[in-house]
Amino acid sequence: MIKNNEIIFAHSPDADDAFMFYGLAKEVVKIDNFKIGHLLDDIQTLNEKALKGELQVTAISAANYPNIVNNYRIMSCGASIGRNYGPIVVSKKPLKMNDLDGTKIAVPGIYTTSWMLFQIFCSNNVTPLFVDFDEVENLVQSGEVDAGILLHEGQVLYKDWGLKKIIDLGEKWFNHTGLPIPLGLDVINRKFDDDLSSSIAKALKESIEYAHANEDKALEYALSYGRGISKENGRKFVRMYVNADTVNMGKEGEAALKRLFSLAFDKGIIDSIPELDFIRV
């Protein structure tokens, strides 16, 4: 599992993920006796690699955890959690939820939490088109699909793109449960022992805290991956998803995750409710 004494952190180049890993990327935060490497990929690719147990430490969609529970444990830090906001369903022209029956909708990955939330709360008979998250905007604008689910920076920029919000799935979740919504998690392969797993989780927590303490520099680093978002919009987005919950999801975050999987099970979206195994730091 460990080659050349190197622990590789896999995460997406999205602004919130890159921001979290700033301290590790700049080698300010270290793990004794180990080198630290980074693997950057889009979240759908990371979800798929996690299914095979290939990754040591990785970001995943929270909705994917039931599929990988046998290979990974959840870190109490590193979660992307929304409080009364989350992925947004958008269209080119004003629509309501009941207008979506019989339509085609662009979905940014079959394993994403956004798709799980849509299935929990939106009983519409839709045809999903699973695409890369950065294709959703253009597909909606071109009329190739009737609606799409926006992740990441799209939640901040959709109005600039001339798109109309149908529903905020995070807001719908909050109104239904009163809980925050865990959208993304960071997980550690079960092949690591408890001591090393704790050291890895502590390093990520320190990296997040370092990024918060050096926000401007961390933000500049996070936005260097060229997603075409302004610094202020980037700051807004990062503050939405890299917050106190990211440092420690706490009992409320853990309860929200359990509720998510319970509702998904009740809807027949997942076959069983996974036992949640946390590395708490």
Does pLDDT of 41 surpass 80?
yes
Residue of 38, 152, 176, 212 marked active site:
152
Annotation marks residue 176 as catalytic: no
Q: Pick the residue with more confidence: 228 or 7?
A: 7
Domain ranges of the chain: 6-81+183-279, 88-177
- Cα 241–chain centre separation: 9
pLDDT at 203 over 70: yes
CATH code of domain 6-81+183-279: 3.40.190.10
Percent of the chain with pLDDT over 70: 99
Q: Is 71 exposed, middle or buried (0-12, 13-18, 19+ CB in 10 A)?
A: middle
* Residue range 235-273, pLDDT digits in tens: 988 998 999 999 999 999 999 999 999 999 999 999 999
Total residue count of the chain as it appears in this document = 281
Q: How confident is the model at residue 152 (pLDDT cuts 50, 70, 90)?
A: confident
Position 192 pLDDT exceeds 70: yes
State the residue for tokens 């929270």: 62
Least-confidence region, from 117-121, 124-128, 166-170, 211-215 = 124-128
Q: Which of 25-29, 65-69, 123-127, 173-177 has the lowest mean pLDDT?
A: 123-127
Average pLDDT, the chain: 94
Residue pointed to by tokens 């990062």: 238
* pLDDT at site 3: 80
Give percent of the chain with pLDDT exceeding 90. 83
Is residue 226's pLDDT more than 70? no
Which range (11-15, 33-37, 242-246) has the least confidence? 11-15
Provide the pLDDT for residue 230: 84
Task: State residue 229's pLDDT score.
Answer: 80
Q: Is the pLDDT of residue 44 over 80?
A: yes
Residue 227 reports pLDDT greater than 70? no
Task: Give every CB contact of residue 204 below 8 A, 6+ residues apart in sequence.
Answer: 9, 20, 21, 24, 57, 75, 77, 78, 186
The pLDDT score that the predictor gives to residue 124 is: 75
The pTM of this model reads: 0.94
What is the third-level CATH fold of 88-177? D-Maltodextrin-Binding Protein; domain 2 (3.40.190)
Count CB atoms within 10 A of the CB of residue 194.
9
Same fold, 6-81+183-279 and 88-177: yes
Residue 22 pLDDT exceeds 70 = yes
Q: How confident is the model at residue 231 (pLDDT cuts 50, 70, 90)?
A: confident
Name the least confident of 65-69, 136-140, 148-152, 171-175.
148-152
Tell me if 12 sits within 8 A of 60, measured CB to CB.
Answer: no
